[in-house]
Amino acid sequence: MEILPRDYRNNGQKLSKDQYLQIANEVQDWAEIIGPSTISAALPLNPDVLLDRYAQIAPISNALIEQTEALLAQRPPVEVERIERHGPEPRGRIKPNQTMRKAAQRSGEVVSTEVNFTPDTLQNRLLVRFHAELAGKMVQLSEAYPQYGEMFESQLSYHQHLLEQRIFNKLRDVALETDFADAAVLSQLRDQADQAFQVIVDLWEAYLQNANLELALANNFTSALKPLSNTYELWCLRLLLEVLSDLTGQQPSQRLQGTYDFPGDITLHYNQSGDRPRGSKDQSGLVSQYFRTELNLGRGSGFPDFAITQDGDGLWVADAKFKHQKKLDDHRQVLAYAVDLLRPSKDATAALLYGSTEVDETEGEVREYTFIRRSIHPDAHLDPQTALSKQLKSTLSL
């Protein structure tokens, strides 16, 4: 079983599982420092899980638990069974006409209607199936990767406890046999479900499709941004803050924001365009006019991931790319940022930070600017923090 994001398998060798987990764990550690409300605004995933494709299990689990609690606070869906009984004693409401006919036949039987309530409904089957699916996934992940054991502890305990309840335990086999991926079954479910249970059906379909879903009950319950790409970007931000802190002797603000100020009139800009969620509403205002929004070049155009100014002058600009191959468009874009945002100088640097083991590194002059391409990841040839520190120390003349 892998814990790697889908784009890992589709795009070739970027990072090993250990390298990926190190990045995820370091971002996770940082999330605990800067606070869950801040990090959850930055990444639309719950901060109490690793930021990978399996992280969607946790917010779905939380939403399912919340909906299940609301459901159990009322009465779980039941079906009414009316069974006609014939015998010497009534077993429910007597049916007088049929009983009179039996009396005329001298049978001595009483005809009655027995009413039973059964929990074996399509809705309860889905509820059991959903909790069983999530519990199974969480157990698998916890056994394969110890990091998940503590993260999933309370949620897994809830799922397992519900499945042990007699009313639901009896439905486990039939729930697992029911094809809840079948469109006809889902349609039947929606016809039977009230508004509250419709949310559970929505959650189930999102789980099946590994899709994104906006829910009123869970703000930011969407992974519209590629989870690992954003994890890598945050990891690079964390590295830059640590490097600048070491170089200037000042600890940065412990919140996610558009700008970070350091001694020597140095400012790190972490750009956050208005159309892509980040950790705060403020932006640095450092936007390239070559990619201004009027040109309709797409989401985030004109906003470099990172830039550094000193005394108001732009000296360093960079984009973080979780890609396994060099892209000409990436180089063009970051160089355009340099021309537009940095003062012409050999110290002015445009950098591409690749989270890959395969991208070759280079450094050279492009007209009045310095261009650097670095492979920045936990097992890079040169320690990532050392590589960035050396580069920024030269650029900022520290």
Per-residue pLDDT tens digits for 243-288 = 999 999 988 877 777 888 999 899 998 875 433 334 444 445 565 5
Would you say 110 and 92 are in contact if contact means Cβ atoms under 8 Å apart? no
Would you say 253 and 260 are in contact if contact means Cβ atoms under 8 Å apart? yes
pTM, rounded to two decimals? 0.48
Would you say 306 and 268 are in contact if contact means Cβ atoms under 8 Å apart? yes
pLDDT computed for residue 129 by the predictor: 95
pLDDT computed for residue 227 by the predictor: 46
Q: How far apart are CA 219 and CA 199, in angstroms?
A: 14
**Tens-level pLDDT at each residue, the chain (398 residues):** 223 333 333 333 456 656 666 676 666 555 544 444 444 444 443 333 333 444 567 778 888 998 898 888 776 665 556 667 777 777 767 777 776 777 777 777 877 766 565 677 888 999 999 999 999 988 887 887 676 777 788 899 999 999 998 888 888 999 899 998 888 888 888 888 777 788 888 888 878 865 333 332 233 323 333 345 667 788 888 889 989 999 999 888 777 778 889 998 999 988 754 333 344 444 455 655 555 554 444 444 567 889 999 888 888 999 888 776 677 888 888 888 888 888 787 788 888 888 776 777 777 788 888 888 888 877 665 677 787 888 888 888 77
- Smallest CA-to-CA distance from 203 within 191, 192, 277, 189 is with 189
Q: What's the fold here for domain 227-395? A: Trna Endonuclease; Chain: A, domain 1 (3.40.1350)
pLDDT computed for residue 1 by the predictor: 23
Q: pLDDT tens, 161-206? A: 999 988 888 889 998 999 988 888 888 888 887 777 888 888 888 7
Neighbours of 87 (CB within 10 A): 11
Domain boundaries, the chain: 44-74+122-209, 79-118, 227-395
Helix (H, G, I), strand (E, B) or coil at 365: strand
pLDDT computed for residue 211 by the predictor: 38
User: 């985030």: which residue's tokens?
Assistant: 300
pLDDT computed for residue 338 by the predictor: 85
pLDDT computed for residue 27 by the predictor: 66
Q: How far apart are CA 9 and CA 28, in angstroms?
A: 23
- Smallest CA-to-CA distance from 223 within 76, 10, 23, 46 is with 46
pLDDT computed for residue 84 by the predictor: 74
- Smallest CA-to-CA distance from 213 within 332, 38, 59 is with 59
pLDDT computed for residue 117 by the predictor: 58
pLDDT computed for residue 153 by the predictor: 86
- Sheet-wide strand order for 110-118: 79-87, 110-118, 93-94
pLDDT computed for residue 253 by the predictor: 76
